[in-house]
Amino acid sequence: MKRFATAFALFALICTPALAQDGSQISRVQSGASCSGCNLFQADLAYRDLPNVNLSGSRLRQADLSLATMNGANLSSCDLSVANLFGARFTGVSFRNSNLRDANLVGAYFGGADFTGADLTGAILSGAELAEARGLSQAQLNTACGDASTELPAGLRIA
């Protein structure tokens, strides 16, 4: 009986899908298609022009969005933890309730972006342009890192 249980457990483990990236979903997004709720773990979206793409609820953990242009995109409720957003443009993008823990936002532009409820714990905001961002609170910024070149809305500061 013990041997059967071990064999069954091994079979179940082999047949259970991993939480790794989904190559077909990544390819769709790379070509500009929306993909709400997709698994885009470690996706390479660097240098892509992806206006108005809807990736709400997607897993973009450790994704590379460096120097991408995603104006008007919906990135609400996304897992963008440890993602690289270096130098990207996010005009009017919704980051509502998204996880940006330990993400690299260095030098990125966020004109009119909405950060309501976003988790910025450990996010690196050095040189980021957030002066016109909405929904940012001092509590969020207290958990992030930045420098004198980080542009913030009036009345907010970063350590």
Distances (CA, A) of 77 to 5, 56, 116, 127, 146: 39, 6, 11, 24, 23
State pTM to two decimals: 0.86
User: What's the domain range around 147?
Assistant: 41-159
C-alpha gyration radius of the chain:
18
Mean pLDDT in each 10-residue stretch from start to end of the chain (159 residues)?
Answer: 51 47 94 98 98 98 99 99 99 99 99 99 99 98 98 95
| CA–CA distances in Å: residue 96 to residues 1, 24, 44, 121, 135 | 51, 26, 22, 15, 8
Residue 9 included in any domain: no
**Which CATH number belongs to the domain containing residue 148 in this structure?**
2.160.20.80
Domain presence at residue 6: no
Q: Is residue 30 part of a domain?
A: no
